[in-house]
Amino acid sequence: MTDESASEIPVALFEFFEAMPRQGPGSPEVTAALYDRISTLLPARPKAADMGCGSGAAGLVLAEKGADVLGVDIHPPFLTAFLEQADRKGLQAKVNTLQASMMETDLMDSSLDLIWSEGAVFTVGFDAAFSEFKRLIKPGGLAVVSECSWLKDDAPEDLAAFWSEGYPGMRTTLENANAIEAAGWNCLHKETLEPHIWLNGFYDPMESLIETIDRNTDPEMASIVDEQIIEIDLFRRYHDFYGYVFYVAQKP
């Protein structure tokens, strides 16, 4: 999915991910544990933005942990779902939303203590995102980004071919950490999402969703489903070669 313009994205792709409990790999437990580890570097009630928030899987955790959270996404139904879940959890006073690209929020310079983005910055480019986030973050503030990254060299041919088309800009963990430092941040920490979390929290629900879809009635949806089936199979076979890596960066 791209962050550039909602009008450029197939409607079926939005419909598919609207039906998912979360729009990318991860878990509330992982988000909460990482937030706890960095909380000593943040004020007691940080001003945070969840960039590319989807329906709020990560942002809700940040709000539960005490942050004031602005969910930013280009797709209004995701933002509606975010607010509805915040209301059900009694977090409505701590959550607001903004329909915008993460690159075009019009937020003030140095206005945020924390930017969080799980599995979304690839839509605008890793380097471009960190450049924009640096403008928005206060000195000493943090950016936490999860990004699909190569963990090993010499990926098998079918895996390399899939990702060269799906995400040609995917880099190694070291390359991303170096890019963060080159952009003027301090890369404080990086950790890889465990494969079972990706499977249990994202691909297993996706497979359940796929079983409910009639691919004969919507060619566009059928194409999306076929690609997801290939992606799931590749991950099950080759998860040692790539994964989502969390990068924690601090603005000097």
> Tokens in use for 222?
């059928």
Per-residue confidence in pLDDT tens, the chain, 252 aa: 434 444 456 678 888 898 899 999 999 999 999 999 999 999 999 999 999 999 999 999 999 999 999 999 999 999 999 999 999 999 999 999 999 999 999 999 999 999 999 999 999 999 999 999 999 999 999 999 999 999 999 999 999 999 999 999 999 999 999 999 999 999 999 999 999 999 999 999 999 999 998 888 888 888 999 999 999 999 999 999 999 999 999 999
Q: What is the pLDDT of residue 8?
A: 59
Residue 68: how many other CB atoms lie within 10 Å: 18
Any domain includes 225: yes
Question: Strand 242-250 vs strand 137-150: parallel, antiparallel, or unpaired?
Answer: antiparallel
Segments forming the whole domain that contains residue 45? 6-250
Q: Would you state the pLDDT for residue 5?
A: 44
Residue 7 neighbours by CB distance under 10 Å: 7
Q: Does a structural domain hold residue 145?
A: yes
- 121 falls within a domain: yes
pLDDT at 7: 46
CATH number at residue 236: 3.40.50.150
* Cα(250)–Cα(252) distance, integer angstroms: 6
Does residue 144 sit within a domain?
yes
Question: Is residue 151 domain-resident?
Answer: yes
Query: Can you tell me whether residue 226 is helix, strand or coil?
Result: helix
Tell the residue number behind the tokens 């729009």, with chain if given: 23
User: What is the radius of gyration, based on Cα positions, of the chain?
Assistant: 18
In a domain, 235, yes or no: yes
Query: What pTM, to 2 d.p., does this model score?
Result: 0.94
Specify the number of domains making up the chain: 1
What is residue 112's predicted lDDT score, i.e. its pLDDT? 98
pLDDT at residue number 1: 43
Residue 1 domain-assigned?
no
Burial class (CB in 10 A: 0-12, 13-18, 19+), 41: middle
- Report the C-alpha gap between 39 and 65 in whole angstroms: 9
Question: In the block, which residue shows the tokens 């919507």?
Answer: 218
Rounded CA-CA distance 172/183 in Å is: 17
